[in-house]
């Protein structure tokens, strides 16, 4: 492969997303919306594919309804964008699902819930990547895939931080109190494997695949939880929604042009102990 990198010292060029078409699965979620605004401000046209519609106020950000549990839905939406834009440059897989009984404890974890989470978090990423890689190869695009993991894709949870939380009052509702369930860690670790497989097999096509592992965002969780979580973070705080905007721009732009197969951990130091 040719080394076609040129010397570039201009940070605006290095981080520019001008003329780039980006697709974010799970794009209307909290992080997805933050990512889309950042990438748009750097010059990208961004498509948010999600099962939930949100009001958007940026002329470079578009919404398409998509359920990643449907192979056809993924295929058809990507086809639609490619037809309109001629190409896609960057795909971000940011979806995660919290079906009924998601927070059930391990001993009683329901097979049905496990399978739903695996399908949405992991199988959806496999299908989206398969589709987009075929597009990148067909059009000879130096494409870029970013998979959003979690610190819990690389380390197991410390369940003691969830002890004595109020039932029925976790921020996402449901009848169990907040926790990190087995399906989350397992699906996120699976995504780490998917990312590495894609990176090592697609490098020769100049396709880059990396992941971002965020730590927990402060979202008005119970004080008791926030205190215990924060104690484990060297920077002494939970993340804010915008803490991941710089990292996503880095991964999506030429700033990370020699990076593939890497997992960028941005967690305030949680995994550094």
Ligand X SMILES: NC(=O)c1ccc[n+]([C@@H]2O[C@H](COP(=O)([O-])OP(=O)(O)OC[C@H]3O[C@@H](n4cnc5c(N)ncnc54)[C@H](O)[C@@H]3O)[C@@H](O)[C@H]2O)c1
Judged by CB under 6 A, the chain residues 25 through 64 that form the site for ligand X are: 26, 28-32, 50-52
Q: Which lies closer to ligand X via its Cβ, residue 77 or residue 144?
A: 77
Neighbouring residues of 5: CB distance < 8 A, sequence distance ≥ 6:
257, 258
Shortest approach of ligand X to residue 264 CB, angstroms? 12
Stretch 120-139: interaction string toward ligand X, x if CB under 6 A: x-------------------
- Is 69 one of the binding residues for ligand X (CB under 6 A)? yes
**Any idea which residue has 């907040």 for tokens?**
178
- Is 67 one of the binding residues for ligand X (CB under 6 A)? yes
Shortest approach of ligand X to residue 16 CB, angstroms? 25
Residue 78 near residue 23 (C-beta atoms within 8 A): yes
Please pick, from the candidates 61, 68, 88, 132, the single residue that binds ligand X as defined by CB under 6 A: 68
Shortest approach of ligand X to residue 10 CB, angstroms? 31
Cα distance between residue 235 and residue 126, in whole Å: 34
Judged by CB under 6 A, the chain residues 152 through 211 that form the site for ligand X are: none
- Is 226 one of the binding residues for ligand X (CB under 6 A)? no
Judged by CB under 6 A, the chain residues 102 through 121 that form the site for ligand X are: 120
Shortest approach of ligand X to residue 53 CB, angstroms? 9
Residue 49 near residue 27 (C-beta atoms within 8 A): yes
Number of residues interacting with ligand X: please give it, by CB under 6 A: 23
Shortest approach of ligand X to residue 195 CB, angstroms? 13
Q: Which lies closer to ligand X via its Cβ, residue 78 or residue 141?
A: 78
Please pick, from the candidates 82, 148, 248, 252, the single residue that binds ligand X as defined by CB under 6 A: 148
Shortest approach of ligand X to residue 125 CB, angstroms? 10
Q: Which lies closer to ligand X via its Cβ, residue 67 or residue 222?
A: 67
Applying CB under 6 A, which residues contact ligand X? Answer: 26, 28-32, 50-52, 66-69, 94-97, 120, 148, 150, 214, 216-217
């Amino acid at each position: 492969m040719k080394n076609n990198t040129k010397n570039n010292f201009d940070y605006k060029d290095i981080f520019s997303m001008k003329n780039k078409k980006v697709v974010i699965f799970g794009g209307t979620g909290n992080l997805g919306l933050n990512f889309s605004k950042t990438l748009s401000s750097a010059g990208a046209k961004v498509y948010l594919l999600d099962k939930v519609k949100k009001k958007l106020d940026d002329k470079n950000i578009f919404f398409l309804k998509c359920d990643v549990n449907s192979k056809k839905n993924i295929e058809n939406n990507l086809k639609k964008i490619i037809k309109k834009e001629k190409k896609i440059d960057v795909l971000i897989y940011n979806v995660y699902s919290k079906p009924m009984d998601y927070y059930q404890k391990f001993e009683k974890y329901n097979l049905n819930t496990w399978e739903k989470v695996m399908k949405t978090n992991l199988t959806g990423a496999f299908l989206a990547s398969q589709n987009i890689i075929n597009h990148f190869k067909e059009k000879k695009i130096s494409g870029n895939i970013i998979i959003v993991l979690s610190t819990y894709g690389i380390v197991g949870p410390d369940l003691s931080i969830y002890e004595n939380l109020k039932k029925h009052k976790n921020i996402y509702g449901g009848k169990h109190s907040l926790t990190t369930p087995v399906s989350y860690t397992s699906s996120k670790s699976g995504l780490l494997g998917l990312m590495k497989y894609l990176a090592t097999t697609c490098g020769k096509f100049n396709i880059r695949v990396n992941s971002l592992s965020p730590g927990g965002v402060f979202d008005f969780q119970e004080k008791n939880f926030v205190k215990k979580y924060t104690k484990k973070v060297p920077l002494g705080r939970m993340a804010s929604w915008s803490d991941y905007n710089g990292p996503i721009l880095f991964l999506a732009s030429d700033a990370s042009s020699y990076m593939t197969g890497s997992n960028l951990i941005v967690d305030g130091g949680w995994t550094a102990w």
